Amino acid sequence: MALYSEKVMDHFRNPRNVGSIENADGIGEVGNGKCGDIMKVYLKIDDDIVSDVKFETFGCGSAIASSSMATEMIKGKPISEVLQLTNQAVTEALDGLPAHKLHCSVLAEEAVRAAVQDYYDKKGKE
């Protein structure tokens, strides 16, 4: 069996939603101290719906594929659903990741949550 699924390879080779958003409503940046990879997620939020999302990932292929998949999964979704996003869901959507690459999907979950947190902070909400 190949180490990486077709979906991982597809999102790694053709990542969706790469880039940044000017005047984003929420920005989340997280890093993994061990591998040194960094992920940044930008959210545009209208009426509590993620109307646009972009990411910049300086990291491994699995981190790029995870961020690409995570952004696809939260685009157009209400914040309440976005907060339910887990790294397991991202991993499943990618048809799996090797065990030693699971932390890359955790980074995607954390970056999305950090961006929502930033949005709430800016709004002065809990």
Among 24, 50, 104, 116, binds ligand FES (CB under 6 A): 104
Q: Which segment (45-53, 57-65, 67-75, 117-125) binds ligand FES by CB under 6 A? A: 57-65
Describe the crossing of helices 61-74 and 6-13 by its angle, rounded to 10 degrees. 90
Give, as ranges, the residues between 32 and 51 that touch ligand FES (CB under 6 A). 32, 35, 37
Q: Is 60 a catalytic residue?
A: no
Q: Does 60 bind ligand FES (CB under 6 A)?
A: yes
CB closer to ligand FES out of 8 and 115: 8
Binding residues vs ligand FES (CB under 6 A): 32, 35, 37, 59-60, 62-63, 101, 103-104, 107
